[in-house]
Amino acid sequence: MKLLFVADPLEGFKTYKDTSFSMMREAARRGHQIWACTTADLVWVRGARVVARDARAITLTGRDDDWFEVVAEGELALADTDAVLMRKDPPFDSEFFYATHLLGQAEREGARVFNKPAALRDHPEKLAILEFPQFIAPTLVTRDERAVRAFHAEHQDIILKPLDGMGGMGIFRVGPDGLNLGSITETLNRNGAQTVMVQKYLPEIVQGDKRVLVIAGEPVPFSLARIPQGSEIRGNLAAGGKGVAQALTARDREIASALGPILAARGLLLVGLDVIGDCLTEINVTSPTCFQEISQQTGFDVPKMFIDALEVALAG
């Protein structure tokens, strides 16, 4: 099969931990052709099809530094591939949004895109949890400072975060003393111009912010608990958290089993659920990660499970 990865530039991949690389490696092991492009390469002209203007066909070298070799380069119509894997990292900004529309047009032309572009738009990673209130902590979404202050007065210890952040960026904790609540709120909501999310602080974060992967509606049997280090409140690996793989808890399975089939039916082949303690905190759909960390620590082959699911989806 011919697989096109729409991702960040290959030259920036950290192959020792990159999930897209692990997908490519497993696909190549099975003999599939690997092509890659960036969202900036996507072009549509009236009367023609969506193409990746400077797509590259690559082979994997097995080396750490120069990990790929380009064997062909040129314009590639997305509908001429067997599958397009949208693996552009967040943030979900305007350019990401526009790319999903180009990918949606490619679908109308016959391309098979994973995750489905419309589903990417319909499931912003912070706000998607609102559909499942039975699994989340007390949560507020607002741009109103008065609402934030009232939420703090009720719950005392809270977390504030922007809706478009990634990797733990822009997350603040305000304790019972309310120190700097006004300043933090003004910074995040830009004096009422931008919506923010506020959640009750979950002390279970000290045991880790768990990434629960769900592939084709089925949970991977191990999560990666991203444990904050030192005085940090953020477990994100990008913020210095330590990743520790562990078997899913009964609650993890309950959440994943409830959400998995629903999200899969909407065209989300791969989802990363973030769980702190017993509470769902985010639903990651743009470019879920942690394949390699889980596989290396447990021996469970997550890339194999994913490519198996992709092949089944394409055969259906």
List active site positions: 126, 161, 211, 226, 234, 274, 282, 284
Rounded-to-10 torsion of CA 88, 142, 282, 238: 60
Report in angstroms the alpha-carbon separations of 172 from 10, 49, 185, 228, 236: 33, 45, 9, 14, 14
Strand partners, 162: 196
Of 252, 245, 198, 207, give the one whose Cα is nearest residue 228.
207
Which value, in Å, is the radius of gyration of the alpha carbons in the chain?
20
Q: 33-37 and 2-6: which strand pairing? A: parallel
169 burial level (CB within 10 Å; 0-12, 13-18, 19+): middle
* 32 φ/ψ sector (left φ>0, alpha ψ -120 to 50, else beta): beta
Q: 158-162 and 172-174: which strand pairing? A: antiparallel
Place of tokens 């909407």: 266
Instruction: Quote the DSSP letter at residue 81.
Output: S
Q: Cα–Cα distance between 282 and 174 in angstroms, integer?
A: 20
Angle between helix axes 291-298 and 302-315 (nearest 10 degrees) is 120
Of 217, 93, 222, give the one whose Cα is nearest residue 164.
93
Report in angstroms the alpha-carbon separations of 39 from 55, 166, 250: 11, 19, 39
